[in-house]
Amino acid sequence: MHTEWRNYKINIIDTPGLDDLVGETVPALRVADTCVLLLNAHHGVEVGTDLVWEHMQRYARPVIIGVNQLDHGLADFDATVSQAKEHFGPAVTVMQYPMEQGDGFHRIIDLLKMTMYVFKDAGGKPEKQSIPSTEKERAESLHKELVEKAAENDETLMEHYFAKGELDEDEMRIGLRKGMMARTCFPVFCLSALRNMGSGRLMGFIDNVAPSAIEMPDEKTEDGTNLSCTVDGPTVLFTFKTVIEPRAGHITLFKVMRGEVQEGMELVNENTGNTERVNQLFIVDGKERIHVNKLQAGDIGGTIKLKDTATAHTLHAPGKAVKLQPIAFPGPRLRQVIKAVEQKQEEKLHAALLEIQKEDPTVVLHYSRETAQQLIGGQGELHLNLLNWKLDHHYKVKAEFGSPRIPYRETIRKSAEASYRHKKQSGGSGQFAEVHLKIEPWTMDMAEPTGHTVRGKDVHELPTGGVLVFYNCIVGGTIDNKFLPSILKGIMEKMESGPLTGSPARDIRVIVHDGKMHPVDSNDISFRIAGQMAFREAFANAAPQLMEPVQELEVRVPADLMGEVMTDLQSRRSVVVGVHAQGRDQVIKVHTPLAELDRYSTTLRSLTQGRGNYTERFLQYQPMSTELQSKLVHSHRSEEVLA
């Protein structure tokens, strides 16, 4: 939404404080010029605040801290400020403090204006009064700290301060603005939203102290150049949010990064190369859309029916190519299988998920061909529960969620030889092929095979990972060269489904060294079958080994809860590779099998009261223990029997 304060337009984007809904918060931080971080005077710095703060750090925006609910019976302003300094550092700077707290809260001492604001019980516009003599000493001490904080951001102001021992109000505004932009000053304000106390002073500060878009540092483009926020210059827009409404369709929200945009303008989408026409232009106030003819640099607005524009795209004037850096959305922390309860709604479900993904890029869709499952990734249980609610209520699709299958791999631990003769005669020309081969575990830089004459070598990087190395060691023409591709094809088909759990095989080298063919009955299909069956027999005799995917995790937890988290990780077959401090927290780096991470985000939040989080990435495949391998193989064979 937006408001006008003393002829100064202020755009406001309200975002959730829950980490599960970070997909709403990150785009707002990307386009905001100043962030207002609300703290509850009763609860202090809460879990969600710490998690959102990390994203605020990444975008390095100026921050104002509002201490709200000072009218709560258990409000504690000093404790809240102390926690804020502990969590966010010494840049936390008191601009105001309350004369009283709880039910009697109605007076605020302002350290910039050195005035006391006195509110009526109903709130609203306060009366300005002198600071009481009982508060003079404290107010002057905090005022001096504020002056020093303002002066330290500008050499000229520092010289004035040393010369006069004071700065006037205008000089302090200049110093505080520079401090906010340098993130050396996070001003703290007193608020009671329920009783409308303090909000006017906060708005006034945003109006005449907080930096505007044109005062902020230049934006960085993808090629490393700077883009100044100025009305002069070719138009550049950056889209930060897509909203889908039943009647209006796709609403694209954007910030004007340079120049101005008018209705009817044609702009080039640098991400797609397509030209878009801005047919409608409006300001968004919640569900209301206010029509405007143009918007200028620094402003936020919206339009509809752009053909091929998504979130985090750059639109610019024709012939003036520029592409801004994208929004860095966090990866999913919880992955589930999703499918429609009714098979006939599968297509409708997929279409709905694609629409939801346009609104929330932290929803990640992936179809696993290997496990034949549709996977959906989100930030946690709440995120996926809300998605399920939206599917049910907005799209009228009932979906069910489940744990995904683990993409195991199979390989071998020793060499083995096998041969297979394929012979089929049913009138007319028949089928005949005989293949002798040897298989061995493949490792990088291993020596070439001995005891055979190598006549050809093919190295194949498999689509599921790993390598197949195929050697032609046929001597004397026992098998014609034209049949070798058929043998290779049969082997690769068999490697797609290994004998242990039906998982793809990897890291094997095959040496085809002998065989037989028939001048009439030998053909491609015969050698494909013979190669496949010989490989299957050799694989079964080569000590098959099941490989499981292992993830690298960085788990960030409060120091006092590290023991419980570490115990849980060890119960998940994790290998701890390092622990280091990061601010007030400890970061545990571990290698954990993917099979042990189902719903780990939920467990971690439970163990840490929501204060822990983690990131993960695929590390490698590693051999599974004999005991676990036996259980999985037995389970797979039982499923095959039932099928």
Tell me the average pLDDT of the chain. 93
Encoded tokens for 589 = 């780096």
DSSP per-residue string spanning 305-349:
--SS--TT-EEE-TT----B----PPPPSEEEEEEESSGGGHHHH
Number of H helices, E strands in the chain: 14, 36
Q: Please tell me the predicted confidence (pLDDT) of residue 122.
A: 85
Encoded tokens for 291 = 């029509």
Percent of the chain with pLDDT over 70: 99
Encoded tokens for 297 = 């640099």
- 643 pLDDT more than 60: no
Q: Which of 10, 179, 182, 6 shows the shortest CA–CA distance to 95?
A: 179
Q: Please tell me the predicted confidence (pLDDT) of residue 216.
A: 92
Q: Count the alpha carbons within 13 Å of 411 in the hemisphere toward its beta carbon.
A: 23
Per-residue model confidence as pLDDT tens digits over 56-114:
888 889 999 999 999 999 999 999 999 999 999 999 999 999 999 999 999 999 999 99
Taking residues 552-567, report their average pLDDT. Answer: 93
Q: Which of 412, 467, 465 shows the shortest CA–CA distance to 438?
A: 412
* Banded model confidence at residue 123, pLDDT cuts 50, 70, 90: confident
Alpha-carbon distance 589 to 172, whole Å?
45
Q: Please tell me the predicted confidence (pLDDT) of residue 55.
A: 86
Q: Please tell me the predicted confidence (pLDDT) of residue 445.
A: 86
- 425 pLDDT more than 90: no
* Residues 6 or more apart in contact with residue 457 via CB below 8 angstroms: 469, 470, 471, 472
* Banded model confidence at residue 639, pLDDT cuts 50, 70, 90: confident
- 365 pLDDT more than 60: yes
Taking residues 504-519, report their average pLDDT. Answer: 95
- 6 pLDDT more than 90: no
Residues written for the chain: 643
Question: What Rg value do the Cα atoms of the chain yield, rounded?
Answer: 33
Per-residue model confidence as pLDDT tens digits over 313-346:
999 999 989 999 999 898 898 999 999 999 999 9
Four-CA torsion 101, 102, 106, 112, nearest 10 degrees: 30
Alpha-carbon distance 215 to 401, whole Å?
48
Per-residue model confidence as pLDDT tens digits over 577-596:
999 998 778 999 999 999 99
Alpha-carbon distance 314 to 255, whole Å?
10
- 480 pLDDT more than 70: yes
Taking residues 528-547, report their average pLDDT. Answer: 95
Looking at CATH, the fold of the domain delimited by 219-316 is given as Elongation Factor Tu (Ef-tu); domain 3 (2.40.30)
- 391 pLDDT more than 60: yes
Class of the domain covering 410-542: alpha beta
Q: Which of 206, 186, 208, 189 shows the shortest CA–CA distance to 197?
A: 189
Alpha-carbon distance 401 to 53, whole Å?
31
Note whether 501 and 634 are within 8 A (CB): no
377-411 core/surface letters (b: 16 or more CB in 10 A; e: else): bbbbbbbbeebbebbeeebebebebeebbbbbbbb
Q: Please tell me the predicted confidence (pLDDT) of residue 498.
A: 85
Per-residue model confidence as pLDDT tens digits over 256-299:
999 999 999 999 999 999 999 999 999 999 889 999 999 999 99
* Residues 6 or more apart in contact with residue 566 via CB below 8 angstroms: 576, 588
Note whether 4 and 285 are within 8 A (CB): no
Q: Please tell me the predicted confidence (pLDDT) of residue 536.
A: 94
Q: Please tell me the predicted confidence (pLDDT) of residue 165.
A: 86
- Degrees (nearest 5) of the Cα angle 308, 314, 318? 85
DSSP per-residue string spanning 13-69:
------GGGHHHHHHHHHH-SSEEEEEETTTBS-HHHHHHHHHHHHHT--EEEEEE-
Q: Name the residue ranges covered by the structural domains of the chain.
A: 34-211, 219-316, 339-354+365-402, 410-542, 547-627
Per-residue model confidence as pLDDT tens digits over 222-233:
999 999 999 999
Alpha-carbon distance 405 to 373, whole Å?
8
Note whether 400 and 339 are within 8 A (CB): yes
Encoded tokens for 178 = 């520079």
Encoded tokens for 500 = 């242990």
Taking residues 371-388, report their average pLDDT. Answer: 93
The lowest-confidence range among 44-53, 165-174, 332-341, 440-449 is 44-53
For helices 47-59 and 22-31, what crossing angle results, to 10°? 40
* Residues 6 or more apart in contact with residue 75 via CB below 8 angstroms: 41, 42, 69, 101, 102, 105
- 429 pLDDT more than 80: no
* Banded model confidence at residue 428, pLDDT cuts 50, 70, 90: low
* Residues 6 or more apart in contact with residue 347 via CB below 8 angstroms: none
Class of the domain covering 547-627: alpha beta
Q: Please tell me the predicted confidence (pLDDT) of residue 240.
A: 96
Q: Count the alpha carbons within 13 Å of 634 in the hemisphere toward its beta carbon.
A: 6
**Cα 373 versus chain centre, distance:** 22
* Banded model confidence at residue 370, pLDDT cuts 50, 70, 90: confident
* Residues 6 or more apart in contact with residue 223 via CB below 8 angstroms: 323
* Banded model confidence at residue 528, pLDDT cuts 50, 70, 90: very high
Alpha-carbon distance 385 to 130, whole Å?
53
Alpha-carbon distance 426 to 146, whole Å?
98
Q: Please tell me the predicted confidence (pLDDT) of residue 331.
A: 87
Q: Please tell me the predicted confidence (pLDDT) of residue 249.
A: 81
**Cα distances (Å, whole numbers) of residue 35 to 38, 65, 135:** 10, 8, 30
Class of the domain covering 34-211: alpha beta
Type of residue at 402: G
Which DSSP state fits 478? S
Encoded tokens for 106 = 């109605």
pTM above 0.85, yes or no: no
